[in-house]
Amino acid sequence: MNQVNKHAVVFAYHDVGVYCLQALLDAGMHIDLVITHDDDPNENIWFGSVAKLCQQHHIPYEIVERDQLLKLLPRLLALSPDYIFSFYYRFMIPAELLKVPKLAALNMHGSLLPKYRGRAPVNWAVLHGEVETGATLHVMEAKPDAGDIVDQIAVPIEIHETAHDVFNKVSNAAKRVIERVLPKLMKGEIPRSPNDLSRGNYYGGRKPEDGRIDWSQPAITIYN
């Protein structure tokens, strides 16, 4: 398959969404539509805006609520993209939409899969005292973070670093993953390695009680 006229629909938010969407644009991927989120007025918005990037590049974008995602199906079928990408989009994309692209639906996850599948992977990696984490591009399936691995890049976690520090590293690693694999994706080639779920765990979102300190634990555990 040649490299001409690869089209994508992108679900994106946060810095990872901005960096990876820009990488697609730089590589010449035609972005037919972007789906993003409204910023939460109760959240500290310290990260970049996917909506603003779309405005700068005159890319059509929409903000769609979780319960409205399935209504996108007719539009996506009409667009008939080669790829669907998800870059830190916060809602689960329905399985019906994942079947639309001609080539693949791909998600960027903020860990070295199969480790730390699920929510808040950077936070959990730091809390568990990991010495490295990373960014993984993988094939999307109905089960979250379970599809084949396309590519991944590791980053170190230094003892003094916060989750915010590590997230910045992971965001840049995500961009590098996309840049590294895009030459193949633009030719319709999708590298695949098995995602052995038995070698990792699934984590939910962090709750306030997860931050409670157990002073009987070792000092390094309390520090993390």
Q: What is the pLDDT of residues 104-123, one digit of tens each?
A: 999 999 999 999 999 999 99
DSSP H or E stretch at residue 49: none
The number of distinct structural domains making up the chain is 1
Residue 100, domain CATH: 3.40.50.12230
Residue 102 lies in a domain: yes
Residue 171 lies in a domain: yes
- Kindly report, residue by residue over 39-65, the tens digit of the pLDDT: 777 777 788 999 999 999 999 999 999
Residue 151 lies in a domain: yes
Residue 116 lies in a domain: yes
The ranges of the chain with pLDDT < 50 are 1, 210-224
Torsion of CA 94, 99, 102, 108, to 10 degrees: 40
Residue range(s) defining the domain that contains residue 48: 7-223
Alpha carbons within 13 angstroms on the beta-carbon side of residue 108 total 32
Residue 170 lies in a domain: yes
Tokens 């730091």 -> residue: 126
Outline where DSSP puts E strands in the chain. Answer: 7-12, 30-36, 61-63, 83-87, 104-109, 117-118, 132-139, 149-156, 202-203
Residue 2 lies in a domain: no
pTM to 2 decimal places? 0.88
Residue 35 lies in a domain: yes
